[in-house]
Amino acid sequence: MGSSSAADPLIDVQNLEKTFTTPTGNVVAVDGVSLQVRAGEVFGLLGANGAGKTTTLRMMLGLLAPTSGSARIAGFDVATEPESVKRSIALVSASAGLYQWLTPRELMYYFADLYDVPPDAAAARIEVLADLFDLRKILDRQCAGMSTGQQQRVNLARSLMHDPPVVLMDEPTRGLDIVGAKRIFDFTAHLKDIGKAVIFCTHRLEEAQRLCTRFGLMFRGRIQLQGTLAELRAITNRQSLTDMFLDLMAQQEQR
């Protein structure tokens, strides 16, 4: 049974590992990842493509069983309490699509039903999100034919229909223009302000440096450095995350 107090992390990952078996041998995609995120924190999970970020998120979502290790979301064990975890978590991804024949209102009601949100609560929630994401003019139009920015706003609103305490963001700014990326930044700041625990997963280090409370620099399946920006600067004697990561890559390549 899941339980947590205000002092407990809403995301608690301990020694997650994932090994894939291939025709040419075993591939270790995630190698002993541990991290914790509390309410009101934005944790930047950073690394190049192939570092193991998305595999880590998939294990936290319960979509992929770990080879070893554990993850708890809002006090619920991902392995043994998957339904409670799903109700406690939202995924925001640039690759997430919309059902084009539905209106945003219908889409949000649909996701509310998936998460067992009562109809009256869902209706009230739609009103709040319509104002938050400026959806009033398109709330009852089919998603088909909407601009990328409009679909992005609908996707963000959809992700919060069940008001989860934890939000995972997987490369949310990929393919977006400056206006779309700013909307993601503002959205992430809003999540922090209202006390959500957020993991912001990206390879765009300059974005993360603007947004995140703490950072984990991931390379070859491991979090090689972890801490606040001030802590990482003290450890590495570098000012920017980009320089820190380039140094990290160079050090690892020499081993």
Q: At what angle do helices 104-114 and 119-132 cross, to 10 degrees?
A: 130
For residue 177, pLDDT over 70 is answered with yes
Burial 216-235 (b: 16+ CB within 10 A, else e): bbbbbbbbbbbeebeebbee
The CATH architecture of the domain made up of 11-88+166-253 is 3-Layer(aba) Sandwich (3.40)
**pLDDT tens digits for 1-55?**
455 555 789 999 999 999 998 888 899 999 999 999 999 999 999 988 888 999 9
**H-run or E-run covering 199:** strand 197-202
For residue 255, pLDDT over 80 is answered with no
Confidence of residue 174 (pLDDT cuts 50, 70, 90): confident
- pLDDT for the residue 231: 96
Average pLDDT over residues 57-86: 94
The set of residues, in sequence order, having a beta carbon less than 8 Å from that of 159 and lying 6+ positions away, is 90, 91, 92, 167
Percentage of the chain lying above the pLDDT 70 cut:
96
Please state, in angstroms and rounded to a whole number, the distance separating the CA atoms of residues 50 and 220.
8
Average pLDDT over residues 205-213: 85
Closest CA to 69 of 61, 79, 83: 79
Please state, in angstroms and rounded to a whole number, the distance separating the CA atoms of residues 60 and 90.
11
For residue 81, pLDDT over 70 is answered with yes
- pLDDT for the residue 73: 97
Count of Cβ atoms closer than 10 Å to residue 242 Cβ: 14
- pLDDT for the residue 38: 96
**Domain extents for the chain?**
11-88+166-253, 98-163
Please state, in angstroms and rounded to a whole number, the distance separating the CA atoms of residues 242 and 232.
12
**H-run or E-run covering 197:** strand 197-202
Average pLDDT over residues 106-132: 93
Please state, in angstroms and rounded to a whole number, the distance separating the CA atoms of residues 27 and 127.
47
- pLDDT for the residue 110: 94
- pLDDT for the residue 145: 87
Residue 204 identity (one-letter amino acid): R
Average pLDDT, the chain: 89
**pLDDT tens digits for 241-253?**
999 988 988 887 7
Q: Tell me whether residue 254 is exposed, middle or buried, using C-beta atoms within 10 angstroms of its C-beta: 0 to 12, 13 to 18, 19 or more.
A: exposed
- pLDDT for the residue 5: 55
